[in-house]
Structure formats: C-alpha cells, structure tokens
Amino acid sequence: MRFFERMSAVSRLAFSRSLLSIILLLLMSAPGESACVNDALNRVDKDTLLMDSTALYRVLDDWRAVVFWLPLSKVTICDQVDDEMEIYYEIRNQDQNQMVRAMRER
C-alpha cells in the first residue's frame, strides 16, 4: 500500500515540474514576440513614410499601396523578423485597414 502512495506522490511531483516547465517556457517566449507602437502618419512620399515621431520607413511592398494613405492617419508599427533573421516592420494603417512591410531608414 505504501508503494502506491509513494508512486502517487512521485507522479504528482513530476506533473508539477512539467506544469512549471511549460509555464516558464510560455513566459520566456512572450518577450520574443513582436513589439508594436502606435504613431501617426505625417507624410507619404512615393515609397517613403514619414511619421509624426520623425521615424522614416521605406516601403518594401508595392509603394502604390500607400498612395491613398492620408496625413494624420493612425498607424501601428510592429517589428518582425524574417527567415534570414532580418528585421522589418509591419505598418498597419488603422484608417484604411491596410498593412505594408517596410524597412526603417531612421
């Protein structure tokens, strides 16, 4: 009978350790996700987007996608990493409900 009690205690301990490991893994992976900031569009110049924060982005996608983006449009800028470990940004225009990929110039 004591053998079964010990086995039960060991299995609960193993389950607790497994659960703790999973929770720690999830907490450690959270900072690796993309970081997003809100900004406003100041000016569009062909394939270049100038933000109110003075950040400058060069559009990687077809630049014609941003032709109708208006100044003062609210945008969300999220950094991403591609397969070659290069950083690019996804810029989402909240007013137009569109998204483009871009590289930060400054």
- List, for residues 16-73, the tens digit of each pLDDT value: 676 666 666 665 544 445 689 999 999 999 899 999 999 999 999 998 999 999 999 9
Residues 6+ away with beta carbon under 8 Å from 42: 50, 51, 52, 71, 72
Q: Is the pLDDT of residue 83 over 70?
A: yes
**Could you tell me if 78 and 87 are in contact, meaning their C-beta atoms sit under 8 angstroms apart?**
no
Residues 6+ away with beta carbon under 8 Å from 40: 51, 52, 72, 73, 74, 75
Map out the domains of the chain as residue ranges: 2-32, 36-104
Q: Is the pTM of this model over 0.75?
A: no
In three-state secondary structure terms, 103 is strand
